[in-house]
Amino acid sequence: GAVVSQHPSWVICKSGTSVKIECRSLDFQATTMFWYRQFPKQSLMLMATSNEGSKATYEQGVEKDKFLINHASLTLSTLTVTSAHPEDSSFYICSARPRTSSSYNEQFFGPGTRLTVL
Amino acid sequence: QKEVEQNSGPLSVPEGAIASLNCTYSDRVSQSFFWYRQYSGKSPELIMSIYSNGDKEDGRFTAQLNKASQYVSLLIRDSQPSDSATYLCAVKRGGGADGLTFGKGTHLIIQP
């Protein structure tokens, strides 16, 4: 149980284009999903918290107009990187917190999406 | 500023020995603590969670928490080469649905 998927697993795009990444909880409902970013040799940095049916909460320094988050259902959240630039190249990882969990605070991570912007 | 500090390593441990990983955190109101294992190019995998002071054991893994010292540790007994990975310490504030603050991770190498 508690499986989270991401699609695509990797993507290469040209500078200036937009890329959408999907995050799905496959066997549970997630009221809250989180988006993280990890640069090489660095740790995961929280970008935003996404709650189903409401606007995402962005961390300081993360541009909400550049990283668009939509949490349309209890099993799907999407991250769209708009007007991507080479410095946006990174490993994007989502996580989901089950709606009902004996371990309230646990988050389960998706496999990640490696974005390369040329 | 919420910070989580770990020694980046690499920490080299012979196979069969005990690996000891340490983590300190700066936010005193933190309530939940996690250890994740991350293989190169992969996403983190939850190893242990701990919420109260003391020890918590799960198989070969033992997490230790000391809130007064703002210190969390992970012990891996009978270390195996497959345990070689980067271990990330993560901290969550109490209440709400805050995301996790991660340390930079400790690179653990188990030598056969």
Kindly report whether the peptide bond that precedes residue A8 is cis, defined as omega within 30 degrees of 0.
yes
CA dihedral B73, A111, A87, A56 (to 10 degrees): -90
pLDDT in tens, A29-75: 988 899 999 998 888 999 999 988 888 999 999 999 999 999 888 89
Q: Which of A42, A49, A108 sits opposite B99 (nearest CB)?
A: A49
Quick one: tokens of B65? 């928490």
**pLDDT level of residue A104 (50, 70, 90 thresholds):** low
CB contact under 8 A, A112 and B43: yes
Chain A contact for B44 (CB, 8 A cutoff): yes
CB contact under 8 A, A36 and B99: yes
Q: Which DSSP letter does residue A88 get? A: G
Over its C-alpha atoms, chain B yields an Rg (Å, rounded) of 13
Which residue do the tokens 């996580």 mark? A95
pLDDT in tens, B25-63: 998 888 899 999 999 999 999 999 999 999 999 999 999
Rounded distance between C-alpha atoms, residue A94 and residue B87, angstroms:
18
CB contact under 8 A, A51 and B97: yes
